[in-house]
């Protein structure tokens, strides 16, 4: 995705532990992260109004992971993720209108209103879901990487999954296959500390998830997933490893979700003070905002970005609410594909 804020000098920008990035790239990353935050907030609002039904898992707090990863990718790279997927769709270039229309079960949604929050796809944008079965997308991501290698491209497949899914058997079957065939697959564990209502400390005997690929000789790296620069630096390393034909790579992104597991989760398993402390001290958008201010980005530019993001999100919400519901005939479509 790309933003429209283009004012100011183009000097390189980096924080204490990150790679050098052009200032304009960092501003665009800030804009993208803000768009993801506001889009998810609007989705939560529409859910509360009864306009979104079923499950709805928000990405608020984790924005630096997908934006930092996307900075290291190129057109043709393919991704697949779990049910916490709206931000991934937007970063792959899918339309905010189409995503919001699907969330509200409308005809103009990416799955024609039949998939909802967890089941959207766009082959055109190389986004392969959105999956409701915990851990199942890891095998699909491995298959995407297999296809890339079979076709002789240098494109990579990226499989995102949570720390809760890291205990699933298909994850380790996928690791084995990827290592055997040296598949260009990046496994990204978005460790937001809680699998539904259970903390990772209680659920995982493995205390360093960046090392779970070691029995299959898959290199791994633990990353501060709240830091855009740290994510980008790790993503570049993983992408270069895969494009060079060295096989898969694993990244554990230590991140945090501010909301419950889904919109129906009151999150009583953690103290409110914990969430407030993370928002106050570790928010990835606020950290980038402070850095941009320090480097000379003026308030007028932030106002432009805010206005652009607000317009995109409001337009998507209005479009979705004005889109018709799918016709009953849609019950019989998208069941079989002609070979």
Pair of tokens at residue 193 = 């500390």
pLDDT in the model for residue 147:
98
Q: Where are the domains of the chain?
A: 20-316
pLDDT in the model for residue 7:
41
Q: Is 143 left (phi over 0), alpha (psi -120 to 50) or beta?
A: alpha
pLDDT in the model for residue 334:
86
Q: Which residue has the tokens 């924005």?
A: 63
Inter-residue contact 192 to 162 (CB < 8 Å): yes
- Tens-place pLDDT, residues 71-122: 999 999 999 999 999 999 999 999 999 999 999 999 999 999 999 999 999 9
Calculate the alpha carbon distances from 102 to 35, 119, 136 in Å: 18, 9, 22
Q: Are strands 198-199 and 157-162 parallel, antiparallel or unpaired?
A: unpaired
- Tens-place pLDDT, residues 128-150: 999 999 999 999 999 999 999 99
Three-state DSSP state, 321: helix
Cα separation, 97 vs 105, whole angstroms: 12
pLDDT band at 13 (very low <50, low <70, confident <90, very high): low
Q: Which fold does the domain 20-316 belong to in CATH? A: Rossmann fold (3.40.50)
Cα separation, 270 vs 285, whole angstroms: 23
Q: Is pLDDT above 50 for 219?
A: yes
Cα separation, 300 vs 152, whole angstroms: 47
pLDDT band at 1 (very low <50, low <70, confident <90, very high): very low
Inter-residue contact 212 to 220 (CB < 8 Å): yes
Phi, psi of 185 (to 5 degrees): -120, 130
Global pTM value: 0.93
Q: Is pLDDT above 80 for 161?
A: yes
Cα separation, 187 vs 146, whole angstroms: 14
Cα separation, 143 vs 161, whole angstroms: 15
Q: What is the mean pLDDT of residues 16-23?
A: 69
Cα separation, 217 vs 26, whole angstroms: 34
Where would I find the beta strands (DSSP E) of the chain?
A: 12-13, 21-22, 78-80, 157-162, 185-191, 194-195, 198-199, 220-224, 249-254
pLDDT in the model for residue 329:
92
Closest CA to 203 of 118, 258, 261, 284: 261
């Amino acid at each position: 995705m790309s933003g429209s804020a283009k004012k100011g000098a183009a000097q390189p920008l980096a924080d204490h532990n990150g790679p050098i990035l052009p200032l304009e790239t960092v501003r665009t990353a800030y804009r993208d992260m803000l768009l993801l935050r506001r889009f998810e907030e609007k989705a939560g609002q529409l859910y509360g109004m009864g306009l979104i039904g079923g499950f709805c898992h928000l990405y608020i707090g984790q924005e630096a992971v997908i934006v930092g990863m996307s900075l290291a990718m190129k057109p043709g790279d393919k991704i697949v993720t779990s049910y916490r997927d709206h931000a991934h769709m937007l970063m792959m270039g899918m339309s905010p209108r189409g995503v919001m229309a699907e969330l509200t079960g409308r005809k103009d949604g990416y799955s024609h209103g039949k998939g909802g929050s967890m089941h959207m796809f766009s082959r055109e944008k190389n986004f392969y879901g959105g999956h409701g079965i915990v851990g199942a997308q890891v095998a699909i991501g491995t298959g995407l990487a297999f296809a890339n290698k079979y076709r002789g491209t240098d494109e990579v497949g990226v499989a995102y999954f949570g720390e809760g899914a890291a205990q699933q058997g298909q994850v380790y079957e996928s690791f084995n296959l990827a290592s055997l065939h040296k598949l260009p697959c990046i496994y990204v564990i978005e460790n937001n500390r809680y699998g539904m209502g259970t903390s990772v400390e209680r659920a995982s005997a493995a205390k360093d998830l960046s090392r779970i690929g070691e029995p299959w000789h898959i290199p791994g790296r633990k990353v501060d997933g709240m830091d855009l620069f740290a994510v980008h630096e790790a993503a570049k390393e993983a992408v270069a490893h895969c494009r060079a034909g060295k096989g898969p790579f694993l990244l554990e992104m230590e991140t945090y979700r501010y909301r419950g597991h889904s919109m129906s989760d009151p999150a009583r398993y953690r103290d409110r003070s914990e969430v407030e402390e993370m928002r106050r001290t570790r928010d990835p958008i606020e950290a980038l905002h402070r850095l941009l201010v320090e480097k000379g980005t003026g308030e007028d530019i932030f106002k432009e970005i805010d206005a652009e993001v607000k317009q995109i999100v409001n337009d998507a919400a209005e479009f979705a609410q004005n889109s018709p519901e799918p016709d009953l005939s849609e019950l019989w479509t998208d069941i079989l594909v002609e070979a």
